[in-house]
Amino acid sequence: MLAVLKAEDLGRIYESGLIFKKRHVALQGISLEMEAGKTLGLMGVSGSGKTTLGKILAGLERPSCGKVFFAGKDLRSMSGREYAAFRRAVQMVFQDPEGSLNPQKSIEQSIHEVLELLKIPGREWQDRTEEMLDMVGLSEELLCRYPSQISGGQCQRVALGRVLLLRPQAIILDEPTSALDISVQAQILNLLKYLQRDLGLAFLLISHQPEVIRFMAHDTIILEGGRTSII
């Protein structure tokens, strides 16, 4: 099966200082494959490069070396249109659910912002919003509220729903439940499993909780000091 997203020998080096340059190797020699309908777990201690790798795969950061392939095509050889399609197909959900949403926009405005960017005609907005709310298990009465007026679990569902509006093929989940209570964590993890089954999504799940990885992942990579230690 062709991998949705593939990384080959990825590396990321950060440089600091003006005269005396310091080099910090965040990632080195990372190769992985994400397949449709499967979850790849990514574990490692703080500072091991998990989030950096997630950002590179989502196209939010450029690697210093190595290649990323989306549907078999190298990102660097993509045309502008192809790259835009990649950015839409590969999404990222972040750790802090409240911080992922604009605090000055109501939930409805935040959802409509995505629909507007997708150039969806206004007459379809209501249907698309209802469909999305249904998918992530939220009620319509939340639409008029602001992120600070809903719970962390509801914020994370909205963040996930916004991502789903883009009809992605792969989602990078960066510690999606670590800021949530165990009861909400259980809800979100079960929701992710359901969505994966239903939509055939490929997940890269970044977590430091072995039990979350065990529950969700089909394969697991452990990062240590920017290198793959176990696959």
Longest dimension (CA), the chain: 58
Nearer to other proteins, 68 or 175 (CB): 175
Residues 6+ apart with CB under 8 A from 43: 50, 206, 207, 208, 210, 213, 220, 221, 222, 223
The DSSP-derived string for 103-161 is TTS-HHHHHHHHHHHTT--GGGHHHHHHHHHHHHT--GGGTTS-GGGS-HHHHHHHHHH
Nearer to other proteins, 59 or 147 (CB): 147
Stretch that binds other proteins, among 67-75, 93-101, 107-115, 150-158 (CB under 8 A): 150-158
Q: Which of 186, 199, 225, 227 binds other proteins (CB under 8 A)?
A: 186
How deeply is 80 buried, as exposed, middle or buried, from its count of CB atoms within 10 A (0-12, 13-18, 19+)? exposed
Residues within window 9-48 making contact with other proteins, judged by CB under 8 A: 45-46
155 lies in the site for other proteins, by CB under 8 A: no
According to the binding rule CB under 8 A, does residue 134 interact with other proteins? Answer: no
When the beta carbons of 58 and 192 are compared against other proteins, the nearer one is 192
Q: Does 211 bind other proteins (CB under 8 A)?
A: yes
Task: Choose, by CB under 8 A, the member of 15, 17, 183, 230 that binds other proteins.
Answer: 183
Q: Compare residues 172 and 189 and give the one whose CB is closer to other proteins.
A: 189
Q: What angle do CA 194, 88, 146 make, to 5 degrees?
A: 70
**Which secondary-structure segment (H or E) carries 162?**
helix 152-165
Q: Which is nearer to other proteins, 152 or 225 (CB)?
A: 152
Instruction: Tell me which residues in 43-102 interact with other proteins (CB under 8 A).
Output: 45-46
The site for other proteins (CB under 8 A) is made up of 45-46, 151-154, 181-187, 189-190, 208-209, 211-212, 214-215
